[in-house]
Structure 1
Amino acid sequence: MQIKASPSVTRYGLLLLLTIQNTATVLCMRASMINASAANQKYLVSTLVLTMEMIKVSLITALIVVTESNFSVIGAAKLLYKEILCRPLEALPLAVPSFLYVIQDNLIIYALSCVDATTYQVTYQARILTTALFARILLNNVLPIQRWLSLLLLMSGVILTQVHFHQESGDLSFQSKDATYWLGLLAIGCATMTSGFAGIYNEKIIKNGQQPLLLIRSFQLSLFCVLFALMGVVIKDGALVITQGYFHGYTPFVWLIAAMQAVGGILVAGTMKYADNILKTFATANSIALSCVLSYFLLGDDDTFTPTFLIGTFVIILATFLYSANSVPPKLTPSNIL
């Protein structure tokens, strides 16, 4: 007798898992940066990105074996040979989004070495705006006026998180942070651009492509990501890898981060397939709120919680909900997985 979970249990189970994964990955990555700096055992960001991509390829390969070839490794190998090696030119356009995804991962990890987890979670929501802009440019998508208003509200919230209210003078000014903090914000801004462009470009490729199997497209995208991540290791940190080793600074904590980041893409795919964009928005909002609380108690980021920051965070969450209201669930694409 087989026991099947109801659709509501599946949806909200995925919501819970995605919320935990989003929050835990960001907090763990930030904590690993703090611990590595304190112990003077910093791991190389480029190697972490490559490790994440290799785990992701392994997970997608396992999914292909299970879902596309009925647990047959030989059948999966034949399928990959037929769909990839026999049709290499069809995969070449995927090199562009793959390169951008690798850049994005490096930017995110660097940003978390410069800013606290809460600031990252809040400001990174600006990728909603960049995605909408690139969708208008590349796909000629026309957004209704209420969505543009929600995007303006979103940017207002992001700006509010970065200003400070002076009680004595009653003036607002940008928070006085060091150069490292502002470099972190710049990295987040660049990551929102790469995220928006890569996602929409990938969607355009999928719409114009001939590959019917989602997992095969995802596998192709992951292979390009591994290639570009490997090039990043060689070009950026090749000498250090030779002298101190590929896994220098790796702890069980770092391995956990790599695994959670890879699994996160699969959870997003499951959320898109079995739930909808609104539920994913709930996960995002829950993750922001949890990050604020846990970052305060676990990582000691108490200087972030100014009144303007909290108001800006609320505005961002509200704008995210308004943007997703009455939206049509997006088509599942490899950009949802990777």
Structure 2
Amino acid sequence: MFPSRLKYVSLGVLVLQTTSLVLTMRYSRTLLGEGPRYLASSAVVSAELLKILTCLLLVFYDHSFSVRALNRVLNEEILNKPMETLKLAIPSGIYTLQNNLLYVALSNLDAATYQWPTESLGGPSSKPLSAGSQLVGVIAVLIACFSSGFAGVYFEKILKETKQSVWVRNIQLGLFGLVFGLIGVFVYDGERVRESGVFQGYNSLTWTVVALQALGGLVIAAVIKYADNILKGFATSLSIILSTLISYFWLKDFDPTSVFFLGAMLVIAATFLYGYEGKRPAINHSKV
């Protein structure tokens, strides 16, 4: 019962986290204010660092706040198993790319279209939903979707084939993510970093986005560990519907079409069918 409860609790948290992250990130990337806009690559690095620190605290808590036990776990599970640790480099690199693409997408799309494109592109009658290029945003979303599917399945395989804790795996994932993220900062935003620093444009809203992104990595790992990657996909789909409602009624930057409503109903039906467990027919032992 406890693992089953963890599965649905983590699923619910993932739905809320994904919805909050999409809306908050979209608002933070399109908000016009004084000073430079924060660097997306810097925010990705900050989220990875925060995730690593959080996982270290959780491992520390699991071992009764013993520094010696924490040091032993880190040495045994990370340093002394280099091949196991290197396996996390592949999904980590993909997740880092995906996180950067999310900022690109939400800088060019409204929250609902970012999660589920519904308008035609490039036609004379299409209307841009933001000041950025809708085509760039949709391409970023598509690349993120394909890469996310592969990384999710790969990470699920690693999690369920070993007995390492989810938090240790996230530390390994975060270490590679931190390295890849720092490379991205200095390759793509090195000049801006030298001019105004890594944390240029940061405010309370930016740190909220960073915290939500770090939380997302932990929750996704929990969902994959206690459920599976398919259920994680349904959580993302449910967050699409929730984001759409908020985007339509509150942000007023999205006008859903009949096709979108049809897709939403299919998502709800698919989620129900996947989680439904019918009664098995009774076996008549007298005929056996």
Place the TM-score, normalised by the shorter chain, in its bin. 0.7 to 0.9
1:162 to 106, 109, 119: 119
1:187 to 140, 148, 154: 140
CA distance in 1 between counterparts of 2:267 and 2:7 reads: 24
SS at match of 1:115: coil
- Give the direction of change, closer, same or farther, for the CA distance of 1:324–1:227 in structure 2 (3 Å limit): farther
1:83 to 64, 77, 85: 77
Partner of 1:333: none
- AA of the residue aligned to 1:237: D
Matches within 5 A, 1:39-188: 39=34, 41-67=36-62, 69-123=63-117, 161-163=118-120, 176-178=126-128, 180-188=133-141
Once the two structures are overlaid, the 10-residue window that deviates more, 279-288 or 20-29, is 279-288
CA contact 2:238–2:267 (8 Å) conserved in 1:
no
Aligned residues between the structures: 273
CA distance in 1 between counterparts of 2:250 and 2:275 reads: 31
Q: Does 1:200 align with 2:135?
A: no
Offset at residue 20 of structure 1 (A): 2.2
Gaps of 5+ in 2: 278-288
- Give the direction of change, closer, same or farther, for the CA distance of 1:201–1:269 in structure 2 (3 Å limit): closer
2:245 to 278, 288, 293: 293
Identity %: 42
Instruction: Show CA shifts across 1:153-173 (max 9, x none).
Output: xxxxxxxx3359xxxxxxxx8
Partner of 2:15: 19
RMSD: 3.2
- AA of the residue aligned to 1:216: V
Partner of 1:222: 174
TM-score (norm 1): 0.70
TM-score (norm 2): 0.81
Instruction: Show CA shifts across 1:60-81 (max 9, x none).
Output: 11111112x2221331022202
- Give the direction of change, closer, same or farther, for the CA distance of 1:285–1:85 in structure 2 (3 Å limit): closer
1:264 to 216, 219, 223: 216
CA distance in 2 between counterparts of 1:287 and 1:6 reads: 25
CA distance in 2 between counterparts of 1:267 and 1:65 reads: 19
- Give the direction of change, closer, same or farther, for the CA distance of 1:57–1:314 in structure 2 (3 Å limit): same
Instruction: Show CA shifts across 1:59-117 (max 9, x none).
Output: 111111112x2221331022202222223233223212111110010111110111111
Offset at residue 207 of structure 1 (A): 6.3
CA distance in 2 between counterparts of 1:7 and 1:94 reads: 25
Instruction: Show CA shifts across 1:203-244 (max 9, x none).
Output: 445567x66444323221111111100111111111211111
CA distance in 2 between counterparts of 1:97 and 1:277 reads: 13
Partner of 1:313: 264
- Give the direction of change, closer, same or farther, for the CA distance of 1:18–1:313 in structure 2 (3 Å limit): same
1:251 to 188, 194, 203: 203
Offset at residue 50 of structure 1 (A): 0.3
- Give the direction of change, closer, same or farther, for the CA distance of 1:79–1:26 in structure 2 (3 Å limit): same
